[in-house]
Every structure is written in C-alpha cells, then in structure tokens.
Structure 1
C-alpha cells in the first residue's frame, strides 16, 4: 500500500520466519516494534507465528479484518507508525492514557471508515493534519491532554457526523474555522478548554442544538463580544467562558440568561448582569442604544443642516430650570437612599450569632424588584451552618483558593482551601430560581441531618437569587470510578485488591441501609453509581450526591418534585440501545460508562421512586467490582450491558476466570468469597423489584464474609 510499508515488510521478512500471518498482522507488529516500553505486557501475545491478529490483546476482528484496536491505560511508551494506515477496516482506535508521543502519521487518516479516534492522555505533538477531513464517518474525536499545536484545520468541518469533539488541555492556537457551528449539528460534547485559541467565538455556535453537559470555551484567548447566538444553545447546557479576553455586555438571551458570574470570571472586559461591573453609561441609564459609544460620538441620523436647529433646542432651558432639575435629582437620590437604609436595617440587620436557625430567621435580604414577594424571594446574608463545627463565613469562602473538581449538568464542584488550611468541596447548583426557598431550606436541612461514616456530610449551604451553594467535607481520594478505571491523563493506578473491593462493597451497603432505614423519610438515593461513591481515608467509601437532583430542581425553579423526570430522560437511550443487542461474541471491549446502565429497568416507567432502585444500582456496582469492566461493553459492532453479559456467561457456564477482573487473577484463594459476592450481585439485579433483597439483607450477608485484613 505504501512504499515505506512495503520496504519494512521486506526487511521484516529477513528475520521473521516465513509464516501465514496476514498483512494486517504484520502492520500491527510494526506498532509493537514502535512501542519501546510495555510494562504490563499487554502486547506479549502479539506473535508472528499466528495466522491473523484476531486473538491478540486489544484487537477485535470481523470476518478476519481488524475493526477495533483498543489498548488503554497500559503505560505504553512509543510512537504511532504509518503502518496503521494499512488496517483498512479499522473503525475504532483507542490508545488513551498511555505515554505515546510524536506526531500523528498522515496515513492514519486514510482509514475512511474510522468512527472513533481516542488518543487522550498521551504526549502527541505537532499539528493535526489537513487529511483529517477524509474521516467522513468520524463520530468521536478525543485528542485531549496531549501537546498538539497549531490551529484546528478547516477540513475538520467535513467530519460533520461528529458527536464528541474534545481537544482540551493542548497547545492549540488560532481562530476556530469559519462555519464551526453550522458544521457540527450532531455534536453532543464540546470541550476546547485550556488551549490558546483566539479570535472571536463563531457567531453560528447557536446551531449546535444537540449539545449536552458543558460547552467549555474556558482558559483560552477568545476575544470580542459574546455572540448573542450562544444563547440559542439548549438551556440545560452550561456555557463556560471563564478566563478569556472577552469584552462588552453579556447577552441576556436563552442559555445565557440567569447565569451566575462564575461562568464569566476572568474576562476583565465583560460587563452587565450577572457581573457587578456595569456597562459604560448604565450608571445613569444613558446610552441605552449605544452603551460603548460616548454621547458626543453617538451615530446621528440627522443631516448636518439640522445642527443649528438642535443647538437652539439644547439651549432652550434657562439656568433657573437647570438648577431646579439638579436640586430635584439630588433630593430624590437622598430620599431613595434613606428609604433603602431603612429597609436594610429592617430586613438585613444580620447579627453574627453562629446559631444557623437564628441567622435564617433574621438575615433575609431582598431586591427592590422582588419586594412584593418578600416571603419567598429571600437571600441569606451568610452561609447557613448545618453543623456546629462550621466556623467560617461567606467572606472567608470567597477569598479561598478554588480548583474545579468536576462538571455535570447539575453544576460545578470545586475544591476550596480556606486560609486556615481547611479543605471543602463546594457544589454550585446554579443561578436560576427564586420562588421556592422554603422548600429548598426544608430539603437541605433534612439532608444535613444525615450523619454516617459511609455518607458524605453536607456541612452548610448558601442561598441567593444568583447563587446556590452546597458545602461538603472534602474527600481526598477521588471516587470509585477512578479507583477502578483511572481517568484521562492519570498515571496507571495500582489495581484494587479483592480485600479493598470487599471493604468498599460493605461500606456502600452499610451507608445505604442507614439511608433506607434510619433517615427521617427512609430516603431513596436514586442515582447511585461509582462516580458518586467517594473514597476517603483507607479507601473507606462515602456515598455522595444524595438528594442532589431534587435540590437542583428546586434551585432551578423546576416544578417537578422528584428525580423521576430526569431518570426517564437518561434511560431513553438505554432502552433504544438494548433493543439492538442481537448477538454476543467472545470478545468484549470496555466501553465508556453511562449513568443509565446503573438504573433499574422499572425506572423507564413513571412510577414512584423505590428503595429497590438503589438495590439494583448497588448490584451493578458489585458486578463492576468483580469484573473490572464498565457497565456497558462493546460486542463486535453492538453493545451489551454488564448485567446481561454476566447473565450470558452464567448461562453458558463459563469459568469464573472469564468473568473476573484479570487484576484479581492472583487471588485465587479468594474464589469462594468472590462467588458469594457474585451471587449477591445477581440477586440485586433481578429484573423483578419484588425479588430483589433489601439492603439490610445484603449488608448482613456481606458482613458474614471476612473483612479486609481479617
């Protein structure tokens, strides 16, 4: 196919014994030779003595053609050879979280059937070749956390089937290609953060109507006005414009409305709501039509011939009238000031008593335009403590160092370090909604009463029309999803031992028992998954995000009182995908995790939330701890969820080693314990809610197994 490739194969044949390995196998062997370090031995079974590459680690074939090459998180050190362009049927290439370097060979973009290219978390450099436009079927392009330079080529717009475009944390520069927004109407994820992009944000970005989650433009050098079309994005999309060079008024349209200042910080030229910096002329209500043009330079539709008439008109007032007008203005301003002072002393006389209930009762502020509904539109003047140990106020919190821990459709989570060294986790729920404070207060204070070693503690909260904050203890060791699967750019972590996994399983079960049986309302978590199981000291699990969806609904002004509507939306995709599961192959490749796969089947219906929902979610987590796989697996060209895959393995009476996480293979002496936990998991994921055990029964069963270190 390529002259260099033919030369290589000729040289290769001089020292590799003659065999029947096909051409694609030889192409993959060149990749193996370009890898200088393979500490986990992931390529050890790539042998020239085989007839084809279909049995090699990370390789998936269809009709003896390589359709997928997936070798993530193996700490491979090396480069990509041009020979990969010989894999003409390749559909998926996933080499994320390794130590690969060098530029991308242009031959890679001759794979016109490529649908996903996932290279994040490596050290690739150079520019993205113009040839990328040949990948007409590309749906996922993830180049994040590398060292790429140059601008995004305009040919990328030809990849108009893209659903994921993540180029964050590189050294990309230049302006976004013209037509960026119009080209990617199917785009669901957009992350451009932490680069050097400049120029204006394209005016057609509002055409990205399929976006979900966060549209991240942050930490770049974008300049000029924020296009009003940005507000045409779906209202649930969080638009992050922080730390750029944007200027001018913030458009108050669509998805840009009711945003707090957090989305715009780091742009010294921006003005207007929700920022406190008024636009030029707004102080006195002047220049409404031309806020950035001085009044003496404002466009004038009158001809020069009318200047004399206007001059006479402007001088028509006597000096006495002018003085009278000024005096009236001064008196009016004084009266307004006195009225405001009176109202402030009446309603905002905040004493500094640390009793949170007293502060809640006495420290209520209001906006002038909302004074007619004072009983509902309230703002706390300070943080409301839910714990006697809270000894900081809002001013200290705002002065603290803050780092983004994560983003979701429910808001941003920050790690906040106070001046005294205290570390907190602060979740910003959003900016909208001001009508349901009493409901929010009741809910958040009930959640704040929950205290258990395996439940993340809510310590305080802050409510205002513009900001709603939840303040938790900071849990230092990430979450269970990261502990099991790592994360982008993260060096490979030591796999959890079986004793650690069993400890995690027992801790989650104990926390859920407390939630189900000992909380005042016998709560349902409703969204249990590894990403909201935090890992504390000594790998002690802590269930987080309890009640978060309901609080977000209240804070955002939603009328829906439960999390059910959110769960139905999230599970629609799962229902559609399960409809297409027609065949099962012996080759399974881990797929990206989706929260819907932790949800019980009955959540697809509009039924009242049940504790058996949590039991099902817990069962999927147990299976993930045992198998080390994500909750949805690629099976050839289709997908299958982990629950169904385990059931098939059991039906086909496959040995335990086929199901078990390979990292647990050395712990064969624990087989009886693992089988016991597997039986518990299978009972938890029963399709019938009535046949699932209670969490009390699950916890008691696990407690009869030895604890870690016993």
Structure 2
C-alpha cells in the first residue's frame, strides 16, 4: 500500500528532474550564445534580445525567443543571423558554438565577418552552412568538411577565399548545393560525384583544368570567369596530351648471300622480313584502336545512365518526350487547354489530374494549414475537373469537391531542385504563412517526377486579365479606377514585405511577382500567388521563366538579390499605372513595352497625358498622388541595384499614399459585371502557372 502511495510522488519527482534538466540545458545553450555574442561585434544592437537568464527558445512550437535563433520543439537547432551588420573574426566565434550538440544550421549571410574559414569539420549533425557576402579570406584547409555526414548545403560565395577548393567536399555524401562563386579559388575542381548534387556554382574564380565528368551538364554560366577551365560544359575542349614518341623500328636484318649450290637448292626466294612486318603492325594497330573505341563507348553508356538517374543542373530529366514523363493524352489535353479550356469530356479532364498524380490514388495529400477540411487525393480525382490554363511550369485545374468547395490544383513539372525531405520542409514553411494578401497554400502532393500544390479557388480574374484581357463585344472589359489600383498596389507591397520578413533566408523571397500572379478577390483585394518557389524549382527552368531572373542585376552580374523583388514590384506598379505589358512578360500575347525607358523618355509634365493609362478613371485632384506613385515605381526599377530603393522604403512611401479624390471605393469604375462568371471568350490562361 505504501508503495502505491509513493508512485505519484515518484512520477512527480521524475517530471521535476526532467524539467530541471531541460532548464539546465536551456541555460547552457544561453551561456554558449552569450559567449558567442561577446566575441563578435554588434554595432546595430540586433542581438539585444539575447539576455542572460532567459530561454533562447520560447516554447515547443519552434518560435525563437531570441532574435535569429531557430528552435524546434523547444530545442535550439540553428542560427540565422543575416544582414545584421555583424562583424568580427568568425573562426574564433564559431568555435564557441561547437558546444551546441543539436546545431543544424548556421547562416551568417550579408554581414561583415572577416578572417579565415571557421572550423566546422566533424560536426556530424550540421546540415547547412551559409557564409556568403562577408569578408572571409585565406585558404580553406583540405579537410575542412571532413566527417560532415549530414551536410547538404554550403554557400561560401562572395568572399575572398583563395587557394584550392577543399577535396573533402567530394567526400560529403549528402551534398545537395554548393556555391563558391565570386572568390579567388585556384587549381582544379574536385571530382564531385554525389548522387543528389544539383547546384554547383564556381563562377568568377581562378580555376583551371578539366571540369569533372560529374559536372559536365552544369550550365556554363556557373563556370563563368574561370578563363583556364576546359571541357564540354564550357565549350572549350581540353588540349589532347601529346603521346610519347614511339621508338624507331629496328633496321631489317641483312640477308647473308648463299653459296651458288645453296641458291640452286632453294626452290623460291624467301621474302625479306620488312615485307611481312607491315600487315602485322596494321593488325596490331587496328586491334588497339578497336579496344579504345570499346572503352570509350562503355564510358559514354555509363555517363548516359548516370544522366538518366541524376538530374544535373541545367538538364531537366527525363525528357518531356519520354512516355515515362507524361502521356500523349495529357500533352494533348494541355495543348487544347491553351485555347479551349472548357472543351473535352469530364473523364478527359480528370485524366490529366490523374496522370499528374501518377495514376489512381498513389500516395496522399499532405495538408499544411490547420483548421482546414480534409479530403483525399481520390476525392479530387473523382470531382468534376476543369482545365483553367497552362503555363511555363505546368497545368492548372479547378476541381469541385463532392458536397464541398472548389479547389485549384497546380501541377508542376520542373520542381525537382530538392529532395523529398527539403521539399516537404519548405512546403510546411509556406503553410505557416498568413497574410490577407497572400493566396494560402492548403496542401501538396509529392511525387519525384511531379508535384501538386492545392490552393483555394478564387473566382475573380487575375490582374493581368483585368488590365489587358479582351472579352469580346458581349462582355465589355472591366476597367480599374485609381482607388482600385492603389488598393492593389498597397496590398501587393504589404504582402511582399511580409514575405521578406518571414522568409529572410531566401535570396529572393517571392521571385515571380507579376500581374498574372496577382489574383483579385471579391472586393478586388490582391492575392499574390506562386511565391517563394525558387528554392524548389529547377534552377535552369527558373532562370528561363521566373521574373526575378529578368532583373537588371541578373543580366549585369549574373545573380539575383532581395532587391530583385523590389524591381518586380516597381515593374508591377508601372504596369498598373500605364496599362501596358512590360517587356519581361511579353508571353501574354500583347504588344509589350520597355516601361522604364519609355516613362523616363517622356517629360514629367507630360506624364499624365502620355504615360498613364487612359482607361484609368480619376479626378484632377488625384493626379498628384498618381504621379507620385509613378516616381516610386521608377525608383524601385532603378537599373543600378545600389541606387535602387530598399523594400522597406518603398513600402513606407506607398503606405503614405492617399487616393487623393476622397473616393474610397474599390470597385471597377465602368463596365461592372459579375466577375465570377467567365464569358466564353475569356482568356483564363493568365491564372495558370506561368
């Protein structure tokens, strides 16, 4: 009986001991971080929330209480100290962090850290190291990445590292991404053959020699600036080594003249030896040459098999013409959808979705938002399906669930940049985003070849169709007045600022901001879509089609930045104000314009008459505000990225804007119709993924 009574007390003691252990662990982590803080310099006070006696992790939901601290289930897993103006010798400060056993991510991007590469070797649990855009220098020890069996992502770009690239990188088994661009590395590229490696950028260094065969399909832009590299990837054949000089054949033996009697005894003269040596040498040469051809052929076959198994950056695998990739019926469905989205049987439309999902019920939908009604993949496949349109990345369907709402299913073909683990982690991250001007991600479906993303259906059209659509005589075009356009600009800017705040680890948090990716809600409130997809899109495909890759800095220096989103916002504002399609979005099938140069070429006093959209209803009092927004747009589109406005400055200026005419309405000014009912001549391809 006494033992029974003591049981609750024992349990309470065990829980108390566990709590004390957790608190002690948290305090130990705090001590390590505070020591790190004392070693570095924080002139802007960005780490002021790091206070002794407090817990770096606030709770078990992954919310970091200290700035820049990444926690999961109450445990510290990473540091994300980016763009904080921090400085100091990083090698000394990182040494203090080795006492954090659960550390998985280190990101010190865009700071002023100096000194040599910090010692991270034998950190078996480390998965990501981001040190780009600092002032780190010197040679990196060859064994710098030894014993890092979990490491997946390494970004050392835009520093001053020199010497050879560490060969220990070739022995990191799970490496997915490697960026070493814009340094002073010299020597040859290590033989990187990791099966899942899909991003390698070594541009603008001093590398030389042959590009390893494992990287032969990497885009040539990722080798730019290395004058002495050679190989198929850069179109510069390596010099064939001069074969060693063959020794001269021995002189033929001299025949000794026979005596007359011996000459008569011989019925026929024996041919001299040199006459028989020529065909023998030819046979030997042919055999050797044939063996070489066989070896080369075997190597080519092996490399082709490797190319089929592993996607190397720049070559989407498998081919779109492959039956393994998509069916003929599905390709035909997509082509028909470009002009006849409502043509075809219901079974044919469902076939496209079923093909995208890999057949009937192969897998399950994963929901990323709490409180949403759950449904299964087979519910989507059984529902009535309608092809909304196709774009550069895939096909978009509207699926009406039995006794439920309509959902939009977007099928992506070129989304193989990451493995399953990283893809699902990124989808969960997107599922946590919540902003009134973002179209939320509801669920996703993962298959190696293709992915499905599920969103709510928005019955209104996209901004692109509202600005440029041709609806025909029986369906007059809706035009947007100044209050409606300002409302759209403010909502889009607010959502973009939210993405930059919530996803600071992304180089370009949106990446694909344009009018066809801005849907309009019931009150014409903007809903941004297709955001934050660059991390999972195939790099070559993203570089060809995504808006941020059309920015001036991408063309000038070969890379994008967070200001690429600012440029996209500026171009969107110019499109809204002028009613013209910008050059980078000419695929909409309309006459396009270089909006920046065109607006700058018109005298400012003539902007109202020549630049602004003549269909935009406005009062005379509003023109001052409209022209002010035009100036903000041009400041966001500044070609020189250093002179271009920061996003915060642009958003603050936009928020200060007023409609100027006292009209607070947000409705279309003229030609109002029920926008939820699409006419037969509507071009719905603007809602597709493009």
**TM-score, scaled to structure 2:** 0.42
Q: Which has the larger radius of gyration?
A: 2
TM-score between both structures, scaled by the size of structure 1: 0.41
By relative contact order (CA 8 Å, sep 6+), the higher-ranking structure is: 2
